[in-house]
Amino acid sequence: MPPVKRPRLARLDNHLRKHGVAVYGIVHGRTRRRLRQQYPEALPVGNSRQRCRLNSDFCMVLSDRTAAATITALRSDAAMTDQPASSTISQPTSAVDPYAAWRSRDYRLLAASWFLLVFSREVERVAVLVYVYAATGTPLALGWVGLVQAVPVILLSIAGGQLADRYDRCKVLAATLALSTLTTAGLLLVSLRPELLRTAQTDYTLVSIYALLGLGAVGQALGSPARAALLPLLVPPHCLSNAVAWNSTVFRVASMLGPAMGGLLLGVQRNTAAALAVACVSRAVAVLAVLAISGRPQQRQSEGVTWASVLAGLQFVLKTQTMLAAITLDLFAVLLGGATYLMPIFANDILGVGDWGVGALLSCEALGAVCMTLIIAHLPPIRRAGKALLWSVTAFGVATIVFGLSRNFWLSATMMFLIGAFDNISVIVRHTLVQMLTPDHMRGRVSAVHNVFIVASNDLGGLESGVTARLFGPVVSVVGGGIGTILVVLAVARRWPQLLRVGRLQDIRPADDARLPGPMELGQQTL
CB-based contact 327:453 (threshold 8 Å)? yes
pLDDT of residue 282: 95
Enumerate residues 6+ apart whose C-beta is below 8 A from 518. Answer: 45, 50
Number of residues in the chain:
527
How far is 490 from 187, CA to CA, in rounded Å? 46
Q: Is residue 520 part of a domain?
A: no
Q: 225 with 330, same domain? A: no
**pLDDT tens for residues 76-116?**
223 323 333 333 333 333 345 778 888 888 889 999 999 99
Enumerate residues 6+ apart whose C-beta is below 8 A from 154. Answer: 221, 452, 455, 456
For residue 449, CA distances in Å to 112, 258, 365, 425, 516 come to 25, 27, 26, 21, 27
- Determine the straight-line distance between the first and last CA of the chain, rounded to whole angstroms: 24
pLDDT of residue 326: 86
Sign of CA dihedral 456, 461, 466, 467: positive
CATH of the domain at 394: 1.20.1250.20
The domain boundary, picked from 264, 286, 303, lies at 303
Q: 247 with 299, same domain? A: yes
CB-based contact 516:62 (threshold 8 Å)? no
Q: 147 with 244, same domain? A: yes
**Angle in degrees, CA 348, 353, 357, rounded to 5:** 85
* Residue 439 region by backbone torsions, left for phi larger than 0, else alpha for psi between -120 and 50, else beta: beta
pLDDT of residue 68: 30
Q: 186 with 214, same domain? A: yes
Q: 181 with 298, same domain? A: yes
The domain boundary, picked from 84, 118, 141, lies at 84
* Largest pairwise CA distance in the chain: 92
**pLDDT tens for residues 394-406?**
999 999 999 999 9
Tally of domains within the chain: 3
Q: 161 with 248, same domain? A: yes
**DSSP secondary structure of 182-246:** HHHHHHHHHHH-GGGGB-SS-B-HHHHHHHHHHHHHHHHHHHHHHHHHHGGGTS-GGGHHHHHHH
Q: Is residue 233 part of a domain?
A: yes
pLDDT of residue 270: 67
CB-based contact 111:290 (threshold 8 Å)? no
Q: 205 with 249, same domain? A: yes
Q: 73 with 107, same domain? A: no
Q: Is residue 97 part of a domain?
A: no
Q: Is residue 492 part of a domain?
A: yes
Q: Is residue 419 part of a domain?
A: yes
CB-based contact 457:331 (threshold 8 Å)? yes
What range does the domain containing 464 cover?
311-515
How far is 421 from 430, CA to CA, in rounded Å? 14
Q: Is residue 523 part of a domain?
A: no
CB-based contact 184:280 (threshold 8 Å)? yes
Q: 71 with 200, same domain? A: no
Q: 377 with 413, same domain? A: yes
**Angle in degrees, CA 148, 149, 152, rounded to 5:** 90
Q: 218 with 280, same domain? A: yes
How far is 339 from 480, CA to CA, in rounded Å? 11
Ranges of residues in the chain whose predicted pLDDT is under 50: 1-9, 12, 16-28, 41-95, 302, 305, 513-527
CB-based contact 248:373 (threshold 8 Å)? yes
The domain boundary, picked from 34, 57, 84, lies at 84
Q: Is residue 54 part of a domain?
A: yes
CB-based contact 144:210 (threshold 8 Å)? yes
Q: Is residue 1 part of a domain?
A: no
CB-based contact 407:350 (threshold 8 Å)? yes
Q: 227 with 167, same domain? A: yes
